Amino acid sequence: MVKSVLKAKRVAVTGVVSSRGRSKAGVIDSEYVHTIGDLAHEFGVTLRTLRFYEDRGLIKPKRQGLTRLYSDASKARLKEIMKATNLGFTLTEIRALLGVDGSPKAAPVLHLNKTQISEQLAHLEKQKAEIEIAIAELKSMQKLAA
């Protein structure tokens, strides 16, 4: 009850509330509507991860004082970054695939050619084989230990 009243007061005063109920007082550019906490929560990553991506030039938030604000385009770009990391690409490779984040309106799309797909598949298959060997070795050690 108290929480909802406070949230309602913030809406009345600022007119803008983030998806997690936090006030975004003073936001001038309505294009930048996501806070670092909003994106971290939505994508299941830490604030440190997003700051690291920023340091590497993968995402570029707008700054309002100490607050980082992200556009919908930045959110879409982050989605592509997460997709590429799940596919096993390094951050350096992802940056090359997506390009530098300069424009908040840039539509990020992860385009892979046949060679890139084949190379990544081969890399992941090799890792899978190495993991299967390690699992088999550990299982045999486990039987000996029991």
For the ranges 24-38, 86-100, 110-124, the lowest mean pLDDT is seen at 24-38
Q: What's the domain range around 76?
A: 2-111
Task: Report if residue 134 sits inside a domain.
Answer: no
Return the residue matching tokens 């996501």: 34
CATH of the domain at 106: 1.10.1660.10
Rounded CA separation 46/29 (Å): 25
Per the structure, how many domains does the chain have? 1
Residues 6 or more apart whose CB falls under 8 angstroms from that of 42 comprise 19, 75
Dist CA 102 CA 104 (whole Å): 7
> Residue 58 contacts by C-beta under 8 Å, 6 or more apart in sequence?
77, 81, 91, 94, 95, 98, 101
**Would you state the pLDDT for residue 3?**
44
Query: Residue 15 — pLDDT band, cuts 50, 70, 90?
Result: very low
Q: How many residues does the chain have?
A: 146
What would the mean pLDDT of 77-91 be, rounded to a whole number? 93
Confidence check: pLDDT of 24 > 60: no
